[in-house]
Structure 1
Amino acid sequence: MSALLRPHRLSPRLALGYLRRRRVVGASLAMAAAHRAVAQTPWPERPVRLVVGLPPGGQADLIARALVPHLASAFGQTFVVENRPGAGGTLAAAAVAQARDLHALGFVLGGPTTTARALNPALSYDPARDFTPVSLLVRVPFVLAVHPSLPVHDWAGFVAHVRANPGAVSYASIGAGTLTHLAMEELKARLGLDIAHVPYRGFPQATLDLVAGRVQAMFNVPSATLAHLSDGSLRAVVQTGDARLFTLPDVPTFEEAGLSDTSFFGWTGVVAPAGFPRDVADRLSRVIRAAYDTDPAARAGLDRTGTEFLGTSPAVFAAFQAREAARWTAVIARLGLRATD
């Protein structure tokens, strides 16, 4: 028999190596098949919670509820809004971070997914690690609203009054670490102002106490203040955007009031837990954008309050959060702030 046709006999050592290689290749193929199966698993497989870090009636809550029918139609599953206010939004963020079944989406406002760990090293989650960005929904400038008992009508008058009455003025925020807190603390340090901080669980309760005079000032969203500004129960002295709001054309920006490099915006974004499928995050962002592109009433509702709809991709939202984290973490470090401040 030709040597080429003669059966080749492997040594025991070579045979063992051959079997091991076959097992490794087989295991790799099986793992790849499993990954493909996971990647193709439909989402959602059960109802999805839209976790909002503010009480019912706030802007983030209203946005989430407006999106529910669009999401349900696009994904063929039930979506329910779950309000978890408190701790500057970190209670809601923690609920999303801990949703191991990936069937929770967070409607977050700034701090919980950017600066919360800098304020509280003992935080139960890591903002940089425990979330998947989905979409930056909206942004809106704040209005510095004051109670009419303060004898001020503009930013210069506000600063002069606070300096003349150290410790006599208090300001509300929607929680430690939110922009309504960090921005005022930065201005206090920058201008040498003595104002007491009073944190709340959300804009509605804080606004009620501001109108009642239990606190005297607050960076508030226009939607929560327009009616009170119209009836004189509140007064606006400055707004934080880079251009005047068409709904408040007489209220100047910080730049116009003589304070440069101070503009900032409140924002609401959607995040999912870490490990959330990237392709589903992309699809979610597209569905969210389409919901507002095809719903003129919802878009008009935002426009009336000076809120700008963005509806970005996950990548754009991730880059935005990184910039926000860098900016405000630097403020926290410079001022030595903690969640209890």
Structure 2
Amino acid sequence: MNNPYKQGVRYGACAVALAFASINSAAAAEPFPSRPIRVVVNTAPGGLTDVTTRLVAQKMGEHLKQTVVVENRAGGDGLIGIRSVKTAPPDGYTILATAGTIAIQPAIKDDAGYDVAKDFSGIGLIGRSPFLMVVAGDSNDKSMAQLLARAKTNPNKLSYASAGVGTAPHLAAAQFFQQAGVQLLHVPYKGNGPAMADVMSGRVDLILEAYGSSSAKVKAGQLRALGVTSSSRFASLPDVPTFAEQGAPNYSYYTWLCLVAPAGTPKDAIDRLSESLRASLASPEIEARFREDGLETNVMSPTQFNTYLVDEVAKAKAMVGSLGLAK
């Protein structure tokens, strides 16, 4: 004989299970994104990565019809921000904006704490930019030749700042100084932004800073540009020669910026973020600003960008090995 009480309990349990299944099914079917997205920038405010990410994030938010919040997590030569995103939930709601630093650090440090190919999924390339070598506006060095001459007669007396050990500005500078046959003291900061005040005051002799985040100070006389790392001179700074013209034949260096997500992020989320990034880069406002800041875009699918990341890691290992910078 059926027990009405037990039968009621069974029906109740089934109802609860069906309710939970319906909730989970609805959540799974909810289109991405359904809540704000956080973009972690692994440098301090004021540098190229920070400034560019904020411009792109605003446009991505408009395209996704969702709030996109930018959060700076600087320190540890860029590793604090990178590692924080590596361990974030792989749901597409926490992503990383970084420069080529993400490919360089595993080559520099044995304890970088991540593997680019295993721990991240590429969203896409934002763009690339050359560096300007800049000194204080009132520096005695009026040219690269003067600076290199001083460096040759005073090994490790002149200093250069960077966004941290193993960051793109550090690697670009180290490569050039090796080719030029000079030795300078490296002074790492938590980002290029905080280092600029010390360069402008003369406490540090120079820094390699992206064109977009330094050209305004150059034009205002706060900084003096001694060279540009691009393969040819910039039209807006025609009197600034390339590094290749000044002691390092065939030298050129471009820093690149990108968006990545934690490994395991659903493909639909990656695809939506990638689509939003492409749409943002194609907007007239971003195109005009990038031209002004000397940024070049190169649109890639997530699959293409993942291949690009692997290639950049291999290039960084070869360069770091040749420079003797590994720790």
Normalised by the size of structure 2, how large is the TM-score? 0.83
Percent of residue pairs bearing the same amino acid type: 35
Q: Which residue of 1 aligns with 2:101?
A: 111
Instruction: Quote the Cα distance in structure 1 between the aligned partners of 2:285 and 2:204.
Output: 35
Q: Which residue of 1 aligns with 2:315?
A: 327
SS in 2 for 1:262: coil
Q: Which amino acid aligns with 2:243?
A: F
CA distance 1:182–1:154, change in 2 (3 Å): same
Q: Tell me if structure 2 keeps the 8 A contact 1:247–1:305.
A: no
Any residues of structure 2 matched to 1:178-217 within 5 Å, and which? 178-217=167-206
Deviations 1:227-276 (A, max 9, x none): 33223332211111112112211111223335223211111100011012
Instruction: Quote the Cα distance in structure 2 between the aligned partners of 1:303 and 1:75.
Output: 24
CA distance 1:62–1:183, change in 2 (3 Å): closer
Q: Tell me if structure 2 keeps the 8 A contact 1:288–1:311.
A: no
1:298 maps onto 2:291 in alignment: no
Instruction: Quote the Cα distance in structure 1 between the aligned partners of 2:311 and 2:26.
Output: 36
Instruction: Quote the Cα distance in structure 2 between the aligned partners of 1:291 and 1:336.
Output: 39
Instruction: Quote the Cα distance in structure 1 between the aligned partners of 2:157 and 2:147.
Output: 12
Q: Which residue of 1 aligns with 2:246?
A: 257
Instruction: Quote the Cα distance in structure 2 between the aligned partners of 1:261 and 1:320.
Output: 22
| 1:47 shift after superposition | 2.7
Q: Which amino acid aligns with 1:256?
A: E
- Higher RCO structure, 1 or 2 (CA under 8 Å, sep 6+): 2
Deviations 1:118-151 (A, max 9, x none): 2221222222310001110011100111235654
Q: Tell me if structure 2 keeps the 8 A contact 1:173–1:180.
A: yes
SS in 2 for 1:268: strand
CA distance 1:64–1:231, change in 2 (3 Å): closer
SS in 2 for 1:332: helix
CA distance 1:41–1:330, change in 2 (3 Å): farther
Q: Which residue of 1 aligns with 2:116?
A: 127
1:316 maps onto 2:304 in alignment: yes
Any residues of structure 2 matched to 1:97-246 within 5 Å, and which? 97-102=86-91, 103-112=93-102, 114-148=103-137, 150-246=139-235
SS in 1 for 2:259: strand
| 1:310 shift after superposition | 3.0
Q: Tell me if structure 2 keeps the 8 A contact 1:147–1:210.
A: yes
Instruction: Quote the Cα distance in structure 2 between the aligned partners of 1:82 and 1:188.
Output: 34
Instruction: Quote the Cα distance in structure 2 between the aligned partners of 1:137 and 1:86.
Output: 22
| Count of aligned pairs | 302
Q: Which residue of 1 aligns with 2:75?
A: 86
| 1:333 shift after superposition | 2.0
CA distance 1:305–1:286, change in 2 (3 Å): same
Instruction: Quote the Cα distance in structure 1 between the aligned partners of 2:273 and 2:322.
Output: 37
| 1:73 shift after superposition | 4.1
CA distance 1:116–1:237, change in 2 (3 Å): same
1:52 maps onto 2:69 in alignment: no
CA distance 1:63–1:220, change in 2 (3 Å): closer
Instruction: Quote the Cα distance in structure 1 between the aligned partners of 2:253 and 2:197.
Output: 24
Give ranges in structure 1 of 5+ residues lacking alignment. Answer: 1-35
1:288 maps onto 2:272 in alignment: no
Report the more deviating stretch, 169-178 or 250-259: 250-259
SS in 2 for 1:62: helix
Instruction: Quote the Cα distance in structure 2 between the aligned partners of 1:173 and 1:41.
Output: 44
| 1:78 shift after superposition | 3.1
Instruction: Quote the Cα distance in structure 1 between the aligned partners of 2:58 and 2:134.
Output: 34
Q: Tell me if structure 1 keeps the 8 A contact 2:178–2:323.
A: yes
Q: Tell me if structure 1 keeps the 8 A contact 2:33–2:269.
A: no
| CA-atom RMSD in angstroms | 2.5
Give ranges in structure 2 of 5+ residues lacking alignment. Answer: 1-24
CA distance 1:206–1:297, change in 2 (3 Å): same
| 1:213 shift after superposition | 0.4
